[in-house]
Amino acid sequence: MLTERQLFILQLLIDDYIRSAEPVGSRALSKREDVTFSSATIRNELADLEEMGFLEKTHSSSGRIPSEKGYRFYVDHLMMPPVISKEEIYNIKDLFAEKMYEVERVIQQSAKILSELTNYTAIILGPEIFDTRLKHLQIVPISKDTAVVILVANTGHVENRTITLPDGMKLSDIEKMINILNERLKDIPLVELKSKIFKEIANVLKQHIENYHQMDQILESIFNTNQSEKVFYGGKTNILTQPEFKDINKVRSILNTFEQEDIIYRLLRSEKDGIDVKIGQENNLEAIKNCSVITASYSIGGKHMGSIAVLGPTRMQYHRAISLLDYLSKDLSNALTKRYQTLNDW
């Protein structure tokens, strides 16, 4: 068990290191006003803390830096109460005061402001399609054998696919099908569309449509693209300002990871409600083993909708990032919920 004094020293050291990015020595700590004991005493404590795995040295006679275990302990038990300035709160409030109807724009702006306030990279996963329901299906022919199929969801989200008609299929067949689907699929969650079609509606279609087997493929191409959520970024290159990322190769592999949306998606897809902090290797991703990721979820009417995260170096201003994220995710949820209610009490 850690003594009061050890807790105190550990906290001071980590705060100092987060601020300075330099290994912290006993003398530097002992000089602080609120430290009453000598540097020798601190040295002894530091040695103990290192033995317990909370601290590390960069070389045998250097000052200490926090280990991942140290950061973990800090985040779980030691962090200072967060301070967010009024100005920052106004920044965020302003953002949501604006009338923005496209969900995507709200989210993009949130990412931007979050990255500006933290100076780290902000990542937001677009709303999951749970409880996003089909409002309308529309087909627009654009040539003799191609057409655009448009799906409109109750959230205002629009998707479209271009399809090609197989030889011999008439446009009117497709239109007929779309009509049938429109009747039967209205208000069905997008995630359930596919199974609903192939389980329940296939039979109806077979009765009405001549070449159902050809339709089959088209239905696939319309409803199959089980796209993962869209990923929004803010401050993609902020990591470059951190002194620990002078190494071009590290930076490159991080930036490349950002482009691989499936990886980011797995990284942020969190089951947990509330704030989740993953430190360094806890992320299980080589490219960001020196980074920490703080994830929160946002929701609509209490229903989990997506994730919002901050990615920075393990030497992160955790308390600041966490409080900003907490604040922003709640405001985002409120803004989206409000918007969503006007969609549903109709």
Residues that bind DNA (CB under 7 A): 5, 23-28, 36-41, 43-44, 46-47, 50, 57-64
Instruction: Output the smallest distance, CB 150 to its own copies, in A.
Output: 6
Instruction: Output the smallest distance, CB 73 to DNA, in A.
Output: 19
**For DNA, the closer CB: 23 or 306:** 23
Instruction: Output the smallest distance, CB 201 to its own copies, in A.
Output: 21
**For DNA, the closer CB: 56 or 192:** 56
37 contacts which partner out of its own copies, DNA, none, CB within 5 to 8 A by kind?
Answer: DNA
281 contacts which partner out of its own copies, DNA, none, CB within 5 to 8 A by kind?
Answer: none
Amino acid at 10: L
Instruction: Output the smallest distance, CB 25 to DNA, in A.
Output: 3
148 contacts which partner out of DNA, its own copies, none, CB within 5 to 8 A by kind?
Answer: its own copies
**For DNA, the closer CB: 17 or 96:** 17
Give yes or no for a contact between 332 and 110, defined as CB atoms under 8 angstroms apart: yes
Give yes or no for a contact between 103 and 336, defined as CB atoms under 8 angstroms apart: yes
164 contacts which partner out of its own copies, DNA, none, CB within 5 to 8 A by kind?
Answer: its own copies
27 contacts which partner out of its own copies, DNA, none, CB within 5 to 8 A by kind?
Answer: DNA
Instruction: Output the smallest distance, CB 343 to its own copies, in A.
Output: 4
Spell out the SS3 assignment of the chain: CCCHHHHHHHHHHHHHHHHHCCCECHHHHHCCCCCCCCHHHHHHHHHHHHHCCCEEECCCCCCEEECHHHHHHHHHHHCCCCCCCHHHHHHHHHHHHCCCCCHHHHHHHHHHHHHHHHCCEEEEECCCCCCCEEEEEEEEECCCCEEEEEEEECCCCEEEEEEECCCCCCHHHHHHHHHHHHHHHCCCEHHHHHHHHHHHHHHHHHHHCCCHHHHHHHHHHHHCCCCCCCEEEECCCHHHHCHHHCCHHHHHHHHHHHHCHHHHHHHHCCCCCCCEEEEHHHHCCHHHCCEEEEEEEEEECCEEEEEEEEEEECCCCHHHHHHHHHHHHHHHHHHHHHHHHHHHCC
**For its own copies, the closer CB: 74 or 120:** 120
Instruction: Output the smallest distance, CB 133 to DNA, in A.
Output: 59
**For DNA, the closer CB: 58 or 281:** 58
246 contacts which partner out of its own copies, DNA, none, CB within 5 to 8 A by kind?
Answer: its own copies
Instruction: Output the smallest distance, CB 141 to its own copies, in A.
Output: 8
d(CA 49, CA 303): 42
284 contacts which partner out of its own copies, DNA, none, CB within 5 to 8 A by kind?
Answer: none
Q: How many CA atoms lie within 13 A of 99 on its CB side?
A: 0
Instruction: Output the smallest distance, CB 83 to its own copies, in A.
Output: 28
Dihedral sign from CA coordinates of 204, 209, 215, 219: negative
Tokens 């080589």: give the residue: 286
344 contacts which partner out of its own copies, DNA, none, CB within 5 to 8 A by kind?
Answer: its own copies
Catalog residues that contact its own copies under the rule CB under 8 A.
Answer: 99, 101-102, 135-136, 138, 140, 142-146, 148, 150, 152-156, 158, 160-164, 236-237, 240-241, 245-246, 248, 251-252, 255-256, 259, 342-346
**What values do phi and psi take at 161, rounded to 5?**
-135, 140
**For its own copies, the closer CB: 12 or 117:** 117
